[in-house]
Structure 1
Amino acid sequence: MNFKSTKKPEQETIEFFPEDYIKKASKILKLISEESKLRIMLLLAKDGPCSVTQMSETLNINQPTLSHHLSLLRHADLVASTRDGKNVFYDINEPLWREMGKQFFDYLQKGNDIHFLGKFVLKRLKK
């Protein structure tokens, strides 16, 4: 009589992202999921530091609304501000974005430089 083992084969352990990373990434993604905030972030990432006036004109967002969005982004540490006289200039918090991206890629396939997610190919940015 030949009995088959009922023991399940060992499954590969999946390494999940740390809980603090999940919470931080979720907070960031929720915040920038609103179109105006995403446009602000993309403008700052592309053009660098901008004043509220410059952003208001470029993005066609009134200044009070823009200031509110910037306040939320600043509170979440996604943007940084510097004052030059009467003007306040905003820029992305590059160290935060680089660290979040680095952690993301480090947890995907043990840090390989190229990752395949469905039809998308993600490449690690080199500094």
Structure 2
Amino acid sequence: MQGLASPARIHILACLLQSPCPVGELTEDLTLGQPTVSHHLRLLRHVGLVTGRRARRDGRSVVYALHDAHVAALLQQVLAHVHHGDRA
């Protein structure tokens, strides 16, 4: 649950639910600084919610993705719950 304790991390996970992407894209999509996004991704990797793999074309950038379908299902439930509260 530590991974879900920050609105910024929820936003990062929601972006990754759409598709895997590198830190630079997340930084642009979320209007957060690169060090901030990297810090959150490090924590998300540590708690097992995301994975990172080297991009093939340059080998330097890392593409992040949700760890597996279980994480995607959990995140979808969290987002549905949050949006359900918006309608109340």
Q: How many residues align?
A: 73
Q: Quick check: 1:31–1:37 contact (8 Å CA) kept in 2?
A: yes
Aligned partner of 1:65 in structure 2 is 36
Q: Superposition pairs for residues 88-107 of structure 1, below 5 Å?
A: 88-97=62-71
Unaligned segments of structure 1, at least 5 residues:
1-27, 102-119, 121-127
Going by fraction, where is helix more abundant, 1 or 2? 2
Q: Superposition pairs for residues 42-53 of structure 1, below 5 Å?
A: 42-46=14-18, 48-53=19-24
Instruction: Give the TM-score, by structure 2 length.
Output: 0.73
Aligned partner of 1:31 in structure 2 is 3
Structure with more relative contact order (C-alpha pairs < 8 Å, separation 6 or more): 2
Q: Shift of residue 94 of structure 1?
A: 1.7
Q: Distance in 1 between matches of 2:65 and 2:11?
A: 13
Unaligned segments of structure 2, at least 5 residues:
76-83
Question: Highest Rg: 1 or 2?
Answer: 1
SS class of match (1:39): helix
